[in-house]
Amino acid sequence: MADPTGQQVRRNRARRLAISRLNRAKSQIRTLIMGLNPVITADVVISNQSHDYQLTDFQQEQLILAANQSIESALEVSGDSPSDDWLYSDQVEGAYRQSTLEEVRDFNSNVAAAIVAGTALTLLQSEPIQTENIILSQQYREELRKARIASFAAVKGVSSKASAQVSNRISAGIRARVSRTQIISDVSDRFDVAKSDIRRVIDTEINTAFNNAKLEATRQISNLTGLRSAVVHISALSTTTRPNHASRHGIAYTVEQQLSWWDGNANRINCKCSVRSVLIDDSGDIINKDVQEQFKQESEFFR
Ligand SMILES: [Zn+2]
């Protein structure tokens, strides 16, 4: 499974959006720096010129402020919380919604397969779960809001770090009396770091939204139907998969176990893994063994 969450298109779209907006901020900051008019005095050594920017403290503060605002507004993190049409709302909500719909479908198909197989199930409701039951619930809206806030906070973290580093390079350059070109080059290096940070954060946040939605839906549907569920860990099993992620592939865990594993030891960072729910009978055995077997066989294939 190259991409167990199946969110690559959303991740790439969000990445492209972030990178092009960061490039715009970089070019705005470049313009700000080129707008400065330092007095250049040549040193005895020809190559060693001194650029005296002659800025008052206030002017320098305004320059730094403008640079920070460029970065903040590029990533749309100026406020304290995300608006409904925040930059990545579509991607995060899209991932969350898709995952919930998939879980409803998987759960209904698990129940149908168990009934066909003659497994005795005690259901609180005999009708298949309707997606509206979940999507329109207060709980769903609340969890979705949390996902949006969490991703906003993560992107804001990237913005704050980038702003601090860019400001630092500008101030240091002015203090050291280096050329505008040199300051721009230093700033550009910090933007490279910011781009790598935002790619990681976007991948992590979109996959986290998808996986949390799945676990939340599994839990919610279990409560609605009275049926016990577990989740089978699905790893990408790629060359970059961490061994402690790959070793979980095909193994079933409770929703709580899976959540606490993901939330520990930076396991979420750059994690491509996902889960698939299965039903559990009264004695704690997995009813939908075939679902689990399917993933285990894939793991054999990749070994
Ligand atoms: Zn993983």
Model pLDDT for residues 52-105, shown as the tens digit of each residue: 999 999 999 999 999 999 999 999 998 888 887 787 888 999 999 999 999 999
Query: What is the mean predicted confidence (pLDDT) over 105-109?
Result: 94
Alpha carbon of 101 to ligand 1 centroid (Å): 22
Alpha carbon of 237 to ligand 1 centroid (Å): 9
Whether 268 is covered by a domain: the verdict is yes
Say whether pLDDT at 298 is over 70: no
Alpha carbon of 241 to ligand 1 centroid (Å): 6
Alpha carbon of 213 to ligand 1 centroid (Å): 16
Alpha carbon of 233 to ligand 1 centroid (Å): 9
Q: What is the pLDDT of residue 227?
A: 92
CA angle 217, 219, 223 (to 5 degrees): 110
Alpha carbon of 112 to ligand 1 centroid (Å): 30
Alpha carbon of 207 to ligand 1 centroid (Å): 10
Query: What is the mean predicted confidence (pLDDT) over 201-219?
Result: 97
Whether 1 is covered by a domain: the verdict is no
Q: Assign 302 a pLDDT band (cuts: 50, 70, 90).
A: very low
Alpha carbon of 126 to ligand 1 centroid (Å): 35
Query: What is the mean predicted confidence (pLDDT) over 204-233?
Result: 95
User: pLDDT, tens digit, for every residue of 24-55?
Assistant: 999 999 999 999 999 999 876 666 789 999 99
Query: What is the mean predicted confidence (pLDDT) over 212-223?
Result: 96
**Please, are residues 144 and 96 in contact by the beta-carbon 8 Å criterion?**
yes
Domains identified in the chain, total number: 1
Q: Report in angstroms the alpha-carbon separations of 145 from 31, 69, 213.
A: 37, 26, 11
Mean pLDDT of the chain: 92
In the structure encoding, which two tokens stand for residue 251, read together? 């193994």
Full residue range of the structural domain in which residue 280 is found:
8-302
Whether 194 is covered by a domain: the verdict is yes
User: pLDDT, tens digit, for every residue of 259-272?
Assistant: 999 999 899 999 99
Give the whole-angstrom CA distance, residue 224 versus residue 205: 28
* Proportion of the chain above pLDDT 70, given as a percent: 96
Whether 251 is covered by a domain: the verdict is yes
SS3 104: helix
Q: What is the pLDDT of residue 105?
A: 96
Q: What is the pLDDT of residue 290?
A: 81
Q: Assign 303 a pLDDT band (cuts: 50, 70, 90).
A: very low
HSE-CB of 258 using CA atoms within 13 angstroms? 29
Alpha carbon of 276 to ligand 1 centroid (Å): 14
Q: Assign 128 a pLDDT band (cuts: 50, 70, 90).
A: confident
Whether 2 is covered by a domain: the verdict is no
| CA nearest neighbour of 98 among 142, 146, 144 | 144
